Amino acid sequence: MTVRGFSFSAPFFKPDVPFMKSLGSTRRSFTPWLDADAKPYISFQNVTKKFGDFVAVDNLTLNIYEREFYSLLGPSGCGKTTLLRMLAGFEEPSSGEIFLDGVSLKGVPPHKRPVNMMFQSYALFPHMSVRDNIAFGLKQAGIAKAQITERVDAILKLVKLEEFAKRKPDQLSGGQRQRVALARSVVLRPKLLLLDEPLGALDKKLREETQFELMDLQQDLGLTFMIVTHDQEEAMTMSDRIAVMDKGTVIQTGTPAEIYEAPNSRYVADFIGTVNTFEGKVVEKTDKMTTLLGNDGFTIEAVTTDRSALTKDKMAWFSIRPEKIKVSRKKPEKQTNAVEGEIWDIGYLGDMTLFNVKLDSGTIMRASVLNAKRTVDDPIGYEDRVWLSFDPDAGIVLER
């Protein structure tokens, strides 16, 4: 299946992925970061930013490629907005340098950078109409009047706001304001568009629609997008790659699937989605398999994915997503990767059902079951004894 020249569900290979399998559906076969010859479009090199004693960004090195949709994901205060503001020119790095298309941005004031930003508050000029807001940057650039009209009309059409051109920002709905802000920042055709929590002010339903609109716009215009968000779903949906940040550093960069299925640390595993984490001792480790004796009294056999110093007798984490766990009344045949417990809570969500299962050790384990059929013969109820089991490649062993 191809959309606009990009094939969907294209498998790609990476040594870290067990059994050379693919990690789920991805957006398109666009992987310049795997190409050793590709030149990064934006490059942060050992960038540190301090505000007084507070280190907002700590010796960070990042490469972003042309036409990439790149997300900075992290909790508030992790330094992601500072990173964006350094690119836009509102903050200067305390040390290190930022390159855009091979040119250092050091000392270049914001109004001279070929970078535009869409602000979290939208920052629409309240005393100007929608049209004047969008035309502002073009006028500033000294573009001829006729051309300004033409370009503004085109972009108004693109964001479906033609009828609202004469309105003032305070006469628009939240979604319309968001589109004006977007139009205003892309009308200049910046080399790079920075988006600070672009969907943060919208309600959930509108946010989901707008995510796809943003993706389409980015592909239509062939722009490079760098987006800051604390919403993992948003980052997962839209991005080519995600950088998960914490306390001024990048913990992991990777495609949404890599981040979700192959987190490199417990922090990333916990931050994205829901995860069950068990502590255990490594009892055996081969190139293919790692066996843990879990503190909760069952043996875990997992595919070896890390190339780290994890060796026998060390303590490790095992993380597994709820949807990868099977729930059954009968004991599975295999001795490993199976544990018994009692149904503690049931959450029926419609598309799936969540089971909180209390293991005999007292730990609560979450499993989610897709409701693929409308009816179930023997529904699992409260206080039922059930078995939870999973495949060796369903979870991941993480270093402590």
Partner 1 sequence: MNKNWSAFNIVSVVFGFTFLYLPIVLLIVYSFNASKLVTVWGGFSTHWYSEMLSNQGLMDAAWVTARVGLLSATVATVLGTLAALTLVRHTRFRGRTLFTGMVYAPLVMPEVITGLSLLLLFVSIGFERGFWTVSLAHITFSMCFVAVVVQSRLVSYDMSLEEAAQDLGCTPFEAFYKITLPVILPAVIAGWMLAFTLSLDDLVIASFTSGPGATTLPMKIFSQVRLGVTPEINAVCTVLIGFVATGVIIASLINKRRMVNNARTDADI
Identify which range of 103-111, 271-279, 345-353, 354-362 contacts partner 1 by CB under 8 A: 103-111
Nearest distance from C-beta of residue 157 to partner 1, angstroms: 17
Binding mask 142-181 for partner 1 (x = CB under 8 A): ---------------------xx-xxx-xx----------
Closest CA to 178 of 119, 126, 125: 119
**330: its two tokens:** 């009968």
Closest CA to 366 of 349, 346, 393: 346
DSSP-derived letter for residue 127 is: T
Nearest distance from C-beta of residue 24 to partner 1, angstroms: 36
Nearest distance from C-beta of residue 282 to partner 1, angstroms: 50
Binds partner 1 (CB under 8 A): choice among 182, 188, 227, 339: 188
Please give the distance of CA 22 from its chain centroid, rounded to a whole number: 18
> Burial letters for 320-333: b for 16+ Cβ neighbours within 10 Å, e otherwise?
bbbebbbbeeeeee
Q: How far apart are CA 180 and CA 122, in angstroms?
A: 8
Identify which range of 25-33, 37-45, 121-129, 152-160 contacts partner 1 by CB under 8 A: 121-129
Nearer to partner 1, 84 or 338 (CB): 84
126 binds partner 1 (CB under 8 A): yes
Q: How far apart are CA 355 and CA 85, in angstroms?
A: 43
290 burial (CB, 10 Å; 0-12 / 13-18 / 19+) is: buried
Nearer to partner 1, 6 or 51 (CB): 51
Contact by Cβ (8 Å): 264, 252: yes
6 binds partner 1 (CB under 8 A): no
Nearest distance from C-beta of residue 114 to partner 1, angstroms: 10
Nearer to partner 1, 72 or 327 (CB): 72
Nearer to partner 1, 102 or 126 (CB): 126
Q: How far apart are CA 296 and CA 278, in angstroms?
A: 8
Q: How far apart are CA 11 and CA 13, in angstroms?
A: 7
Residues that bind partner 1 (CB under 8 A): 88-90, 109-111, 113, 115-117, 119-121, 123, 125-127, 136-137, 140-141, 163-164, 166-168, 170-171, 184-185, 188
